[in-house]
């Protein structure tokens, strides 16, 4: 109640009183032991309880003008600076993970060739013709019917995913991918204008 919780949430205390747990190992289960700290693993309420506690501690730190946090390995002077650096680092890690997944994914060829940062492209916000937005997004995500994609569905080797139009009209065997569609194939030259 001292944290401003309603009477209903205070009733959660009974879930944690006399809490016992065990550990499952290669030799079976350990004996039950009492748990006096932490939240129950697998309980749907645990994330809420953890966030309530963390939020309260964060507000306490800010309200008391805490001079810093001391851990076993380092000291963090200003809590606001620490949070700003932590947020920046988390964004950098998210960007690294995104870019790595784009490069490793053989489905996102066009994205990996022309996009290197995890930001919304400015031209997307300026698109007023909503009929063009969906096809553009589908194309960017390789959700189209070019041979590079349809061949993936039928497990055709990449070298055999050729443009049937170029093969028929020019007797050229070229892979029909996004780059070919955008720049080379004469079938789509009117669309490119």
Does 20 fall in a domain?
yes
Give the number of domains in the chain. 2
Taking only the tens place, the pLDDT of each residue in 91-138 is: 888 778 777 776 676 666 666 666 777 677 777 777 777 777 777 777
Q: Is residue 179 part of a domain?
A: yes
What tens digit of pLDDT does each residue of 144-192 get? 889 988 998 899 998 999 999 999 999 999 999 888 888 889 888 887 7
In a domain? residue 155: yes
Within-domain flag for 87: no
Q: Is residue 37 part of a domain?
A: yes
pTM listed for this prediction: 0.43
- Cα–Cα distance for residue pair 69/17, rounded to 1 Å: 31
What does the pLDDT look like over 31-57, one tens digit per residue?
888 877 777 777 777 777 766 666 665
- The boundaries of the domain holding residue 172 are 122-192
């Amino acid at each position: 109640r001292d944290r401003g919780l309603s009477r209903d949430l205070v009733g959660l205390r009974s879930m944690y009183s006399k809490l016992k747990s065990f550990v499952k190992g290669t030799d079976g289960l350990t004996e039950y032991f009492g748990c006096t700290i932490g939240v129950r693993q697998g309980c749907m309420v645990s994330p809420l309880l953890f966030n309530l506690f963390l939020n309260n501690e964060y507000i306490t730190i800010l309200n008391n003008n805490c001079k810093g946090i001391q851990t076993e390995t380092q000291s963090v002077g200003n809590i606001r600076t620490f949070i700003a650096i932590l947020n920046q680092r988390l964004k950098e890690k998210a960007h690294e993970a995104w870019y790595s997944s784009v490069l490793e994914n053989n489905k996102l060829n066009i994205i990996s060739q022309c996009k290197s940062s995890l930001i919304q492209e400015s031209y997307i916000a300026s698109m007023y013709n909503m009929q063009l937005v969906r096809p553009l997004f589908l194309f960017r995500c390789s959700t189209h019917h070019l041979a590079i994609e349809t061949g993936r569905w039928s497990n055709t080797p990449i070298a055999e995913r050729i443009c049937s139009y170029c093969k028929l009209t020019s007797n050229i065997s070229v892979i029909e991918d996004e780059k070919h569609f955008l720049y080379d194939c004469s079938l789509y030259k009117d669309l490119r204008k």
